[in-house]
Structure 1
Amino acid sequence: MSVVVTGATGHLGRLTIQHLLERGMQASEIIATGRSAEKLAELAAASGVATAVIDYTQPETLDAAFAGARTLMFVSGSEAGQRIEQHRNVVDAAVRAGISRIVYTSAPRADTTTLILAPEHKATEEMIRQTGISFTFLRNNWYTENYVGAFKQSRASGTYLASVGDGRVASASRTDYAEAAAVVLTEEGHENTVYELSGDVAWNGNELAAAFSRLAGSDIPYAPVTPEGHADVLRSLGLDQGSVGFVVRLDGDTREGTLAETSGDLSRLIGRPTTPLLEGLRQALSA
């Protein structure tokens, strides 16, 4: 069996390869792909996996990388607003290559949620279903690492300012999600299955601020603001209007509970509790 891992030069893809190797998959069975030849060379030297340079916008690179592979670990693209076209190229290439299974990293409740990032993932899931290829959808909730920037800003300003209200986030560390991907790639019984993956505990703004305070060694209170007030602060920091709208909308999604679900799927797949918020942040800061 050979597995093609896309996004292998990014955090999630690289960690997935690490967990595949830890679970006993041979390096010769893994093709790591990504856009950076330099980073791929470093990965190959460190792990012994095969590599291929790909670009989601260049189908010919996908055809060459996918040829002869059985399973595709499809890490979604990072360019919001461009994913549908890019993902269509990936799915079409998988069909041409005769891939027999696609494991795709999607968004929480992608087919029903109002989360701003979900429509492209919903469209990609539909593309994959339409191929008739066996699939596993890993609907990953937020990564704890996403809050490293917020921690640094809060440490500098002395407060954690957000317009999330009392909304909760069931985040987990990237390594938790990567380990789950490695599990479904190396075990039987996960075909045509959708997993809602999240941390075991959904935390709120006060609890995040408490974690920030522990890490900083000083009190960082949570300062809730209205969406309008949040937008004003972001504009004062120099963010363009598009970025301001995106950040405020994401906080609105959190406020409305779109990231609060704790299904237990993730801890069941990896056979252990998910990484707690404070520990996940500490690990991210020390990486």
Structure 2
Amino acid sequence: MKIAITGATGQLGHLVIQHLLKLTQAENIVALVRNVDKAENLKAKGIDVRHFDYDSPATLAPALQGVDKILLISANEIGRRTPQHKAVISAAVEAQVPYIAYTSLLRADTSPLGLAQEHRETEQLIHESGLSYTFLRNNWYSENYLAGLAHNIETGILYGAAQNSLISAAPRNDYAEAAANVLLSESHKNKTYELASSTAFTLETLANTISKVSHKTVVYTNLSAEDYKQGLLQAGLPEGLVDVIIEADVEATHGAMLSDRKDLESLLNRQTTPLEETIKPLLM
């Protein structure tokens, strides 16, 4: 069986392939990448690396020849995702790939997050394609809250605008392992999974956990959405990314980032990785 992974050199795609390699032979994996030169390490492992550019639709179907399953990892260009995803789905149909798994967003059908719209549109396109599918609706990555970890420890402050909201974020590696497990089984066809951590946390809990792991005091300081936005912009983050971060925190106060579903636990056959174990490697 040939399993193709889009965005195979990206953060999530690379981890999915690492998990697949633990469970199947390299010859069964197809790495679909925009830049083949960045995939030399995958080639060296015996993985079939193929050029795959969402923005060149005519080249996509040939790259999917002989593929039995494809994992479509959502593209990272917000606002352009739907046409890019549509090109991949159309190519999968043309190449007669019978099954597609897609990394969507937690409760994509009802989520208030602006990001959800393109995920809803992609899920609809997959439904309309007639392909067998699995929707892996990933909640936020824990790492999204740890991007400024070194700075948090240095200043002793973790800023946010989520108040005391509970957040069911899980580490990227857990979502990747779950995706690999789904791809290697035949029991997940036409199912939708809401993927979230076993234990929710507040940003205050996160600050306390950073303190515990780093042995440096870090305190959570809640800001208004506007003050937090200005702080992130002053720190040099691009406005589009800042808007996504702010919206996530604001919507967290309305429960958008919280889930009690145990789908991720079920796919992993274990509890999700605790915050402490997620933070430790980032300090090494």
Common topology (TM > 0.5):
yes
Residue 206 to residue 93, structure 1, CA distance change in 2 (3 Å): same
Q: Aligned pair 1:30/2:60, yes or no?
A: no
Q: Aligned pair 1:71/2:99, yes or no?
A: no
Map of 1:6 onto structure 2: 6
Tell me how far apart the structure 2 counterparts of residues 214 and 194 of structure 1 sit (CA, whole Å).
36
Q: What are the within-5 Å matches in structure 2 for residues 206-225 of structure 1? A: 206-225=204-223
> Any idea what SS the aligned residue of 2:148 has?
helix
* TM-superposed deviation, 1:36: 2.1
Map of 2:42 onto structure 1: 43
Residue 241 to residue 7, structure 1, CA distance change in 2 (3 Å): closer
Taking only aligned residues, the RMSD between alpha carbons, in angstroms, comes to 1.6
* TM-superposed deviation, 1:44: 1.5
> Any idea what SS the aligned residue of 2:146 has?
helix
Map of 2:200 onto structure 1: 202
Tell me how far apart the structure 2 counterparts of residues 22 and 240 of structure 1 sit (CA, whole Å).
37
Q: 1:234 aligns with which of 232, 235, 256?
A: 232
Q: Cα deviations across residues 85-142 of structure 1 (Å, max 9, x unaligned)?
A: 1111111111111110000000000011102211111110000000111000000111
Greater Cα offset, 60-69 or 258-267: 60-69
* TM-superposed deviation, 1:148: 2.6
Residue 254 to residue 152, structure 1, CA distance change in 2 (3 Å): farther
Question: How much identity, in percent, do the aligned residues show?
Answer: 39
Q: Cα deviations across residues 135-185 of structure 1 (Å, max 9, x unaligned)?
A: 000001111222232322312322111111111211212221111111111
AA aligned to 2:126 is I
Greater Cα offset, 141-150 or 28-37: 141-150
Tell me how far apart the structure 2 counterparts of residues 106 and 182 of structure 1 sit (CA, whole Å).
15
Map of 2:54 onto structure 1: 56
Map of 1:177 onto structure 2: 175
Kindly indicate whether the alpha-carbon contact (under 8 Å) linking 2:57 and 2:88 is maintained by their aligned counterparts in 1: yes
Residue 240 to residue 111, structure 1, CA distance change in 2 (3 Å): same
**Structure 1 residues without counterparts, runs of 5 or longer:** none
Kindly indicate whether the alpha-carbon contact (under 8 Å) linking 2:214 and 2:283 is maintained by their aligned counterparts in 1: no
* TM-superposed deviation, 1:278: 1.4
* TM-superposed deviation, 1:60: 2.7
Moved over 6 A (4+): none
Kindly indicate whether the alpha-carbon contact (under 8 Å) linking 1:148 and 1:285 is maintained by their aligned counterparts in 2: no
TM-score by length of 2: 0.94
TM-score by length of 1: 0.93
Q: What are the within-5 Å matches in structure 2 for residues 9-158 of structure 1? A: 9-23=9-23, 25-45=24-44, 47-158=45-156
Greater Cα offset, 90-99 or 230-239: 230-239
Map of 1:193 onto structure 2: 191
* TM-superposed deviation, 1:285: 4.1
AA aligned to 2:3 is V
AA aligned to 2:38 is K
**Structure 2 residues without counterparts, runs of 5 or longer:** none
> Any idea what SS the aligned residue of 2:102 has?
strand
* TM-superposed deviation, 1:237: 3.3
* TM-superposed deviation, 1:240: 5.7
AA aligned to 2:37 is E
> Any idea what SS the aligned residue of 1:78 has?
coil
